Amino acid sequence: MLVSREELKTLMKNKFMAAGLSAEHAEKTAEVLTWSSERGLHSHGEVRVEYYTERISKGGITTNPQWTWEQTGPVTGILDGDNGCGYPFAIKGLEYAMDMARENGIGVVGVRRVSHTGALGYYTEMAAQNDLCLLTMCQSDPMVIPYGGAEPFYGTNPIAFGAPTADERFVNFDMATTVQAWGKILDAKSAGRSIPNDWAVDVDGNATTDPFSVNALRAIAGPKGYGLMMVVDILSGILLGVPSGKNVSSMYHDLSEGRDLGHLHIVIDPARFVGLDAFKQQMSQTLDELGAVKPGPGFDKVYYPGERALLRKAACDEAGGIEIVDSIYEYLTSDKLYIHSWDHKNRFAE
């Protein structure tokens, strides 16, 4: 059903507050989720509310976190969130990093001991709107085999980059380091379809086309993706002193426990390099030139990173709201904190 942006955000905020989050943290969390939903990223939007609400109500997210900020150098700092809700702390950490970048040209902030922080594209867009570049990354729980392995070790470990232009556009590149998201395998299960043999492996580490046999996902581009997800884990895990690799906490194993996740923001002020105006003008020219490239067979044009998401948002604006499934709307408007428990499930929420 079609729900207005404001109604969806309010319903999500109210659920989080009912579970115990402060109004401030509930507001920021609901805003990021709404941002995701209106761009068609529903797996990082309203779909997550029931899971978060259950974890909050069971104590796995600290509702009154005793967070700390330590600026460890002119351009570095650590924000410890005391296992509070990840979204407001990812925003707060980015604000610290942007302040340092404006003052010194670069700002690097580690956000540690927090819960899930959602779609990284929200934060890269936030930086780009402030005329700054952002490279950001975070850990996730093990569900991907390392190259040459047969059992999960790393998570999907996403990484994202954003940059401003001289017009209303901005580059917003956000990717997981796996060939395909788990959600696509769920889609194949529900439709009874096979999957390509480079997406996942079975319990013995063999490539599988059967979505019901999937035991772990595969990294993009073999050893290259494996190396990239390792880099993400080092910079957002080991560097910040939180559990890393196969020791990253499970999203679903025990919702009464904090997750101790890490997230790293690296902000660069282009004004300290080529100059802000020159940078933004060249960025706009680059996007124009990409859009003028002759499309290949089966494609209508070359899109810059983030363009399709903005087109989906524009379609939502034109339609007057965000299309969500009826069962989620019914949950959001109910008095129940959660209906189907996510607790003590495996890494694929099964």
**Per-residue pLDDT tens over the stretch 30-62:** 999 999 999 999 989 999 999 999 999 999 999
Q: Is residue 31 part of a domain?
A: no
Which is more confident, 106 or 350? 106
Residue 252 lies in a domain: no
pLDDT given at position 350: 84
pLDDT of residue 187: 73
- Split into its structural domains, the chain has a count of 1
SS3 for 82-113 is EEECHHHHHHHHHHHHHHHHHHHCEEEEEEEE
Give the mean pLDDT of 135-147. 97
Report yes or no on 210 lying in a domain: yes
pLDDT for res 349: 83
Mean pLDDT over the full length of the chain: 96
233 occurs within a structural domain: no
Cα–Cα separations (whole angstroms), residue 318 to 125, 222, 321: 21, 41, 8
Q: Is the pLDDT of residue 186 over 80?
A: no
Q: What is the per-residue pLDDT for 156?
A: 95
Q: Name the residue range of residue 195's domain.
A: 179-217
Catalytic residue among 42, 116, 263, 265: 116
Mean pLDDT confidence for 213-234: 96
Cβ-count burial 235-254 (b if 16+ within 10 Å, e if not):
bbbebbebbbbeebbbbbee
340 belongs to the catalytic site = no
Could you tell me if residue 190 is inside a domain?
A: yes
DSSP secondary structure letters along 137-179: EE---S-BPPTT-SS--B----EEEEEE-SSS-EEEEEE-SBS
pTM of the model: 0.96
Mean pLDDT of 104-118: 98
Q: Is residue 196 part of a domain?
A: yes
Looking up residue 197, the CATH number of its domain turns out to be 3.30.60.50
What letter does residue 300 receive in the DSSP assignment? S
